[in-house]
Amino acid sequence: MRKARYLALCAMLAGASWAAEGAGDKVFLAEVLYAPGAGALPFIELYNASEDNVDLSGWRISIAAKDGPETVTLSRDKEKVVIPGYGFYLIGREKDRGAWSSSSYKPDFYCQLSMEYAKGRGGVMLLRPNGAVRDAVGWGLAPWRFFEGTPHEPVAQGHSLERKSGPTHNEVNGNSYDTGDNSTDFRERPKPQPQNINSPRERPAATTEGNAWGRIKAMYYDQ
């Protein structure tokens, strides 16, 4: 009896730890507009390639800004912090709140990050509440930790840096191509496309077994 109880407890703990580690494993840095053109506003966009909503409370965004690293914690005090399954999440600057108001895709979270980067180099990290790096994208001479593999080439003023949907990018699937190399996984996007929690959801490309299963489940259960 005692043994059975012990085994049940082990199973429960194993399940709990799997859930804790698994939640958010497919949240990606999807698009960064770091050098906006005239009239445009800088942003950082996330994409959730899992079918489950993910609560981002306590998650952090850290940027390699012009004057050094800056970090903000996503908190539910005043903003929405849940990224929908297969959905997006948009982060803008508090000081641009008024300027975004006429846009149809307002940020879900306004923060104090400067979003001002040195010319030709910078990076963004997405961190879990425990400080573990979930994702990173860097460009040019990005500082250590602020990139994966090789940083992407800097993009032209007004263009954004966008994670591809797959080895060949399409506009139907979400931004979840991830080989661990920024120079391969991202592309220069001439016309930035900020997306927020209200934007149409996009399925990830079925490049892995997990994604394929997600699509099958979505077909049968998302009706």
SS (H, E, C) 31-80: EEECCCCCCCCCEEEEEECCCCCEECCCCEEEEEECCEEEEEECCCCCCC
Interaction pattern, residues 145-184, with Ca ion; x per rule: CB under 5 A: ----------------------------------------
**Cα 187 from chain centre:** 15
Sites for Ca ion among residues 1-40 (CB under 5 A): 31
Question: What residue type is 178 in one-letter code?
Answer: D
121 or 187: CB nearest Ca ion: 187
Report the nearest approach of Ca ion to the CB of residue 212 (Å): 23
93 or 163: CB nearest Ca ion: 163
Per CB under 5 A, the list member of 73, 103, 193, 207 interacting with Ca ion is: 193
**Whole-number Cα distances in Å, 119 to 67, 68, 161:** 12, 13, 15
Report the nearest approach of Ca ion to the CB of residue 155 (Å): 14
- C-alpha to C-alpha distance for 18 and 102, rounded to whole angstroms: 42
Sites for Ca ion among residues 58-117 (CB under 5 A): none
Phi, psi of 64 (to 5 degrees): -90, 90
Report the nearest approach of Ca ion to the CB of residue 63 (Å): 18
45 or 96: CB nearest Ca ion: 45
Q: Tokens 């895709």: give the residue.
A: 105
Tell me which residues touch Ca ion (CB under 5 A). 31, 45, 193, 195
